[in-house]
Structure formats: structure tokens, C-alpha cells
Chain A
Amino acid sequence: MAAPVLALDRVTKRFAGHTAVDALSLTVPHGVIYGLLGPNGAGKSTTIRMIMNIYVPDEGTVRLFGEGGTGRDHSPRIGYLPEERGLYPKMRVLDVLVFLAEMKGMDRRAARAKALEWLDRLGLADWRLRKVNELSKGMQQKVQFISTLLHEPDLLVMDEAFSGLDPVNAQVLKETVLDLRGRGKTILLSTHIMEQAEKLCDHVCIIARGRMLVDGGLADVKRTHGGRHLLVNFDGGRGDADRIFADPRLVTKSDSSGQYAELELAPGADAQEILKALVSSGARLSRFELAEPSLNKIFIDLVGPEAVTAAAHPEERARG
């Protein structure tokens, strides 16, 4: 399709002296899953709120579906899952869904039918007349998720798509997102969990401190920012691994801790030499693999370790 679904042109937003988003330009093509990646405070939510017309950019323009008009004007075609989730706690599940669909310009009767269909599909049919606050957290997440999809948007915008989801719901979300893309819809999601982005996204854009660092198809990004990568898993002894990884003739960058290491090979270095050195130093290996760099590795290299430490989840911090 010719016109991109979303195009930001040098969009800037400042809050009380600090610049949250700084001249950010990006283009989301039709029918892709687009990952907006960055540590907390990078400006992801602010960018998304400008797309949704919740904030007005100080400079620059947001263009949707190749047409004029704000996110609010196009809201019937957009589904929005905000970072902080919430529903009316005292309303009945079905009523909330119908109301939110009405906000998207949907007809009441159609909204009702569609809501029932979705509730049935996600196993919540028996809960339709219960109040939202009688539902478990996981069920509320499903209801919220339905509310963003009910009106069959062409563009789905999900801020911190996976935050707070239990594994079951994360799976439901993933499958639904993939299904939507299969039907030609476009999905823009922001996350700071790189493993999920890597599994889902066709296209990624990494931002930090309000500026874009990388933008492109996942494969391209990996190719250009990759270099040759070596993944090593130890099985007990590490031998002289630390000394070998520190040799600049062999390795330019290493991310190593405990039983796992991800290395970037120096230009002209031979992986076999490293293998030989490791084995003869007494290291026991369970994996030795030449590979593409993980998105996480690229992210850390680009954003800088300090930003990630500040941003990442505890479990990610433990890994390094």
C-alpha cells in the first residue's frame, strides 16, 4: 500500500523545560507489527500519546492513514491500549465494552453483539453481567484487551503491550496480534522487553532520551548492527574464559556472566581459535554457536548499559 499507516515528522514535545520527544520522525508501513523500543523515560508513551492526540506536539506533525486530521478524528480506525490500564470498576463487563465501543463511534447493537462474541472467545461469557471489580486481574486484562479490538481498528496502538500480563494472557495477546497482522491490520507496540519484541516485530525503532537511534526491519537492524556474534554456554567450568574474552584480537565486545556469554568477534578473528583456547584452558561447553546478535544485545549497545540498568526489569538486570 502506498501511504504509510502512520508517519511522524520531526515531532517534538517538551514538558517544563525537559524535552521528552526530540524531533522524532518515523514511518509505520501498512500491515506490519512495529516495535517502538526504548528504556523507561525514552519518550515512548509521550510519542504514543501524541499519535493518539492526547498530547499535542509542540513541533512537527503526525499523519495517519495518509490523510489529514488528528488521532481523535481517526479514532474509529484506531484501537488504543494505554500504558496504565483501567476500566470502570463498578460497571458490568458487557456495559463497559459497549460504552467504550460507542466512544469509538460504534453502534450500540453492533457493539453488543461483537462484545458477546469476544467474551465468548476469551472464555468470559459467564462474566458478562458481573462488575469489573469482581473479576480477577487476568480477566480484567482480557476485557481491556477486547475493548481495544472490538471496533475492528485498522491500527492497533499498544503502550507497554506486555506489561503486567500473566503468561497466559501474554500468549493470548501475541496470538491475537499475529492474527490481526494476518488480516492486514497494522500494530504499533511499545515495550522495553526485547525478547518479546524480537519474537513479534517485523519492524523496530529504538529510541532513547526522545531521539531515534535505529529504525528498520528487524532483519536489517540485526544485519547492520550485528557484526559476527558468538553465543557460548558453559557447562560447569569456565576455564580461562575471562582472559580469552578480554583479548582484543579475538573479541571486541563481550557480555558474559555465569554460565552464559554473548561475544562480538573482532574483525578477522577466527571463532575456532576461541573454541580451541577455551577447551584447552579447561572450560566445559554445552553450546558454542555463531549467531545473529539478539535484539537485547543491540539495544544495550545502542542505549548504553546505564540506561538499561535504570530501565530494565529486575529479572533482566540479573542477566546482565
Chain B
Amino acid sequence: MGKILAVVRREFVERVRRKWFWVMALLGPVFFGAIIFLPSLMMRGGGLKDIVVVDGTTKGLGERVTAALDRAVTPDSHRVFHAVRVPAGDRVIDSLTAEVEAKRLEGFLILTDALVDSGRADYQASNVSSFTAIETIERNLTQIVFATRLEREGVNPTLVTRARLPVALGTQKIAGGRATKESAAQSFSLAYFMAIILYTAILIYGINVMSSVLEEKTTRIVEVLVSSLRPFQLMLGKLIGVGAVSIFQFLIWAVSARYLISTRGHLGGGGRGGGDAGQVFQIPHVTLATTAVFVAYFLGGFFLYSAMFAAVGAISSNEQEARQAQQPVSVLLMVSFFAMFAMINDPNSPLAVTLSLIPFSAPIAMPVRWAAGNLPVSEVALSLAILLAAIVAVTWVAARIYRVGILMTGKRPNIKELVRWVRAA
């Protein structure tokens, strides 16, 4: 017992002492912060854009469009355009093209009377992939065309304005038989983040276990160790030690995430980021039960995969071999990660239910389903029980491969040899 503890302590202390641990501890929140803020930053598209409306219309349509674009704001109250109207004429397009080329102008919109009938207009700009710009122009043109058509049919303009009142659909998740305050967007964000963190952490720390096994094997220090404690004790100490490092890392992240969320308003672009109702990513409300599910499945997934990674490290004799040999294990994990998108959409589909029961995909699938939908506790319990049984079985097999593998040198064993190792008493 004392020896296992010494192995645990060594794994923990040596890892936490290294630079990369603190790099991860600091970069983790930056990375997750980027996931939170980047979409809103990208959608904002940065700054006021100068555009020109080339007006080939009659009856004041051009003036109306120009005024609307000039007024248009993003959901977080930024003006999008500084719009100027220019009457259509010879060579106007050419000179405007030159202006865009010279970066003095973002782009120009060409309007003709055909707009109202065919709904067609052209926008030429240096950057036609600016989501905000395109979306703003389309939205405003649609509204103006819509209003103009109705007015042409004799409908009162005031009535048109009133009829255009937008609908905001409020979504609430039902959990435990009642609606929660959590919105669909929040559920989605939560499921998405949990999947990313689980996937990344299980992979990173699993590979940590693998490197640790490999280091002891390549330096041959393992011979001294195995003459003092049983290989299984050594492997167990490693798993617990690296697992403890990961939990410590999570604690650091959790503390910094709290800080980040509490200051999100300031970080998200000068105090305006806080209340953008239209955004996909929202900070979810994380309950105690959700935390428990997350931690349980992280630990389950970590032990399951790390035992496999330990066996992979044991059968490899250098980094290169290990990188190759670990691919099947990583792919197994990756599959459950990518299945997440389907599961968020429909957490109770047969696929999602199956994946959350299979122990190899459950560590990601179950927390995702938990976050996305309303799950009976019995289903979680069943999945955890299966996962636990799988951990015992996989660790048993991995330990047998590990025991023989760490003392082997030379070529990597094939599947047949591995089976023999596992069978050997």
C-alpha cells in the first residue's frame, strides 16, 4: 500500500512540477474562453463599414434602403454600416470598384426598380463572407421590399410597421417534471462543453499514462520497480496518480472558469457582450447533479481508457511505435465525440441510448445526453454499472498485457501474442 502511494505521489508531484501542466492550466481557460467568445467576435465582424448604395431606382426606394442600412445595428447595438447613396450612372461602378480595390470602401450595393418585383439586388465588396454585413443587408432589403409591396397594394404603412413585430421564442428544458430556467441554448452549450472537455481530458491524460509507462520501459527502470512491487500495483499507482493530476487541473479550470464567467461582460468586448440574446453560446447553469455526472463519467472514462493506454505503452518500445499503437484507442474515443452532435439533437434516439450504454462511448455520450435532455436516474445508474464492470474487465486484461509488455524488448507483439499473454496465468 505504501509503495502504491509512493508511485501515486511521484506521478503527481513530477507532473505538477512540470511547465506544461501550468501551461495547460492557463491555456485551458483561454482555449475554452475562445470557444465562448470567438463566435460572437466573429459575428460582430469588427467595426463600422463604409458602403455606397448605387441607386438606380425611382420613387425613393434607394433613399429608404440607404437610411435603413445606415441605422442598422447588430444584436449588441453596434452600427454596421456607414451608408451613402449615389445615383446610378455611367462609370459609377468602375470608380467604386477602384475605391473598393484601394480599401477606401467596404463595398457597394446596386439597386434597381426590379428589386421590388424580382427581389434581386447585387452587393459587391472586398469581403463577401462577412456574416454580419450580408445578413444585415438581406434582412433590411427583405423588410423594405415586403413593406413596399404591401404599400403598393394600398396597405397603410403604419399597419405594415405594426405587423412586422418579431416573435421571440422562449425555450425551456423540462427536468424533474417541471420547466427549468435553462434555455435550449444553454443545454446545448453545456452538452457541447462537457463533450469537448471530457474528450480532451481523457485523451490527454490517457496519453500521459502511456508516456509514463513508456518512459519506465525505455529507461529500463521498470526492472528495478517490478522487483520491488507487483506490476499491477505499479499500474494502479500510475492511473491514480495521473488521475489525481487531472482532477487538480479541473479544479484550477473550474476556479478560473468561475472568474471568467463572472467577468465575461468585461472581456466580451468592452462591456457589451453580456446580454446578446441571439447568441448560440450561453453560460449554462451547472447543477450539483450535473457536476456529479460529469465527474463520475470523467473518472470512469479516464480509468477505462488509461488502462488501455497503459497497455499500449507497455507493448511499444519507443514513442513512434506508441503513437501508432494508440490510434485504435484514440479512434474509439473520437467516435463517441463525433456522435455527440447527433445526440445533442435528439438525446433519446436509439443511437444516443445505445452509445450511452456501451462503456467505451458512455463516458462522453451519457454526460451529453444528461446535459441535453431529461434523463431518468435509473438509466444513468445502469450505464454507470456497465461502465464499472467494463473498467474491471479492461483493467484486468490491460494489466496482464502490461505485466509481460513492460519487460519485453524488441518487436511489438501481434494480436495472437497478446491473447496468449492475457491467457497465461
A72 within 8 A of partner (CB): yes
B228 within 8 A of partner (CB): yes
Inter-chain contact A102/B227, CB cutoff 8 Å: no
Which one of B13, B219, B225, B407 has the greatest number of beta carbons of chain A within 10 Å?
B219
Which one of A53, A88, A91, A147 has the greatest number of beta carbons of chain B within 10 Å?
A88
Task: List the A side residues contacting B18 at CB < 8 Å.
Answer: 90
In the complex the two chains form, what is the Cα distance from A75 to B215 in whole Å?
A: 23
Inter-chain contact B219/A88, CB cutoff 8 Å: yes
In the complex the two chains form, what is the Cα distance from A82 to B225 in whole Å?
A: 11
A78 — nearest CB in chain B belongs to which residue? Answer: B227
- Known contacts A72-B229, A86-B219, A88-B215: does B14 contact A147 (CB below 8 Å)? no
A93 within 8 A of partner (CB): no
Partner of A103, one of B6, B13, B14, B407: B6
B191-249 interface (Cβ within 8 A of A)? 215-216, 218-221, 223-230
Type the 1/0 row for A81-119, where 1 means its CB is closer than 8 Å to any CB of B.
010111111110001000110111100000000000000
Q: How large is the interface on B (under 10, 10 to 19, 20 to 34, 35 or more residues)?
A: 20 to 34
Partner of A80, one of B2, B3, B227, B229: B227
A52 — nearest CB in chain B belongs to which residue? Answer: B227
Type the 1/0 row for A139-159, where 1 means its CB is closer than 8 Å to any CB of B.
000000001000000000000
Inter-chain contact B219/A103, CB cutoff 8 Å: no
Inter-chain contact A103/B221, CB cutoff 8 Å: no
- Overall SS of chain B's interface: helix
- Known contacts A102-B6, A105-B3: does B228 contact A75 (CB below 8 Å)? yes
B13-36 interface (Cβ within 8 A of A)? 13-14, 18
A71 within 8 A of partner (CB): yes
A151 — nearest CB in chain B belongs to which residue? Answer: B228
Partner of B3, one of A53, A89, A103: A103
Task: List the A side residues contacting B49 at CB < 8 Å.
Answer: none
Inter-chain contact A72/B220, CB cutoff 8 Å: no
In the complex the two chains form, what is the Cα distance from A86 to B223 in whole Å?
A: 9
In the complex the two chains form, what is the Cα distance from A82 to B227 in whole Å?
A: 10
- Known contacts A72-B229, A72-B230: does B224 contact A103 (CB below 8 Å)? yes
Inter-chain contact A84/B407, CB cutoff 8 Å: no
Partner of B407, one of A54, A80, A95, A147: A54
Task: List the A side residues contacting B2 at CB < 8 Å.
Answer: 102, 105
Inter-chain contact B223/A82, CB cutoff 8 Å: yes
B10 within 8 A of partner (CB): yes
Inter-chain contact B3/A102, CB cutoff 8 Å: yes
- Known contacts A72-B228, A72-B230, A103-B228: does B3 contact A86 (CB below 8 Å)? no
In the complex the two chains form, what is the Cα distance from A104 to B216 in whole Å?
A: 17
Inter-chain contact B220/A82, CB cutoff 8 Å: yes
In the complex the two chains form, what is the Cα distance from A147 to B225 in whole Å?
A: 12
Inter-chain contact A87/B221, CB cutoff 8 Å: yes
Inter-chain contact A75/B227, CB cutoff 8 Å: yes
Distance in angstroms from B362 CB to nearest chain A CB is 35
Inter-chain contact B10/A99, CB cutoff 8 Å: yes
B212 — nearest CB in chain A belongs to which residue? Answer: A88
Task: List the A side residues contacting B219 at CB < 8 Å.
Answer: 86-89
Inter-chain contact A86/B220, CB cutoff 8 Å: yes
B13 — nearest CB in chain A belongs to which residue? Answer: A95
In the complex the two chains form, what is the Cα distance from A99 to B219 in whole Å?
A: 16
B10 — nearest CB in chain A belongs to which residue? Answer: A99
Distance in angstroms from A34 CB to nearest chain B CB is 18
Task: List the A side residues contacting B229 at CB < 8 Å.
Answer: 72, 75, 103
Q: List 24 A-B contacts (CB under 8 A).
A: A49-B223, A52-B227, A54-B223, A54-B407, A72-B228, A72-B229, A75-B227, A75-B228, A75-B229, A80-B227, A84-B223, A86-B219, A86-B221, A88-B215, A88-B219, A88-B221, A89-B219, A91-B10, A95-B10, A95-B13, A102-B2, A103-B3, A104-B228, A105-B3
Q: A99-B6, A102-B2 are in contact. List 13 more A-B contacts (CB 8 A).
A: A52-B223, A54-B407, A72-B227, A72-B229, A78-B227, A82-B220, A82-B224, A86-B218, A100-B224, A103-B3, A103-B225, A105-B228, A147-B224
Chain A interface (Cβ within 8 Å of chain B)? Answer: 49, 52-55, 71-72, 75, 78, 80, 82, 84-91, 95, 99-100, 102-105, 147
